[in-house]
Amino acid sequence: MKAKVSPDMIYAPSENVVAREVQGEFIIIPITSGVGDLEDEIFTLNETGKSIWAKLDGKKALKDVAGELSQEFEAPVEEIEKDCLGLVEELAKRRMLVEVK
């Protein structure tokens, strides 16, 4: 089931995962059970995912994250916001990101 994610929401990496960059690969490793799907799996983020993840600090709303990335990458904000929501949906359903209220 997908989490309902909107541009006004704020997200941060869960304390139950560790993100590591190893030899240019950005990987997310679950610490506690119930994160991810299977326990012997790790997750890697692509370049888009990595850029979004780096901005998810638990303070900025997703629309602001998209705004910053739009300026950095000189890309349409609508497109970036779609990517942000897509990534957050994927990771929130795996409990790798948590909503900050």
Partner 1 sequence: MKEGPYITKQRIDKASLWKGKVLPLAKLDIELSERCNNNCVHCCINLPADDLQAKKKELSTDQIKNILKEAASLGCITVRFTGGEPLLREDFEELYIFARKLGLKVLIFTNATLITEYLACLFAKIPPLEKIEVTVYGMRKISYEGVTRIPGSFEAAWRGISLLLEHKIPFMVKGALLPQNKEEIDEFEKWAANIPWMDKPPSYSMFFDLRCRRDNGKNEAIKSLRITPEEGLKILTRHRERYLKEMKEFCAKFMRPSGDKPFSCGSGRGGGCVDAYGYFQPCLMLRHPDCVYNLRDGSLKDALENFFPKIRKMKSNNPEYLTHCARCFLKGLCEQCPAKSWMEHGTLDTPVEYLCAVAHTQAKFLGLLQEGEKSWEVEGWQQRIREFVEKES
Cβ contact 41:29 at 8 Å: no
Q: Which of the ranges 1-9, 13-21, 59-67, 70-78 carries the binding residues for partner 1, by CB under 8 A?
A: 13-21
User: Which of 5, 27, 21 has the alpha carbon at shortest distance from 87?
Assistant: 5
Which C-beta is closer to partner 1: that of 32 or that of 71?
32
Cβ contact 93:11 at 8 Å: no
Among 1, 8, 41, 74, binds partner 1 (CB under 8 A): 41
The single-letter code of the amino acid at 24 is: G
What is the binding site for partner 1 (CB under 8 A)?
Answer: 18-20, 22-23, 25, 27, 29-33, 36-37, 39-46, 48-49, 52, 83, 86-87, 90-91
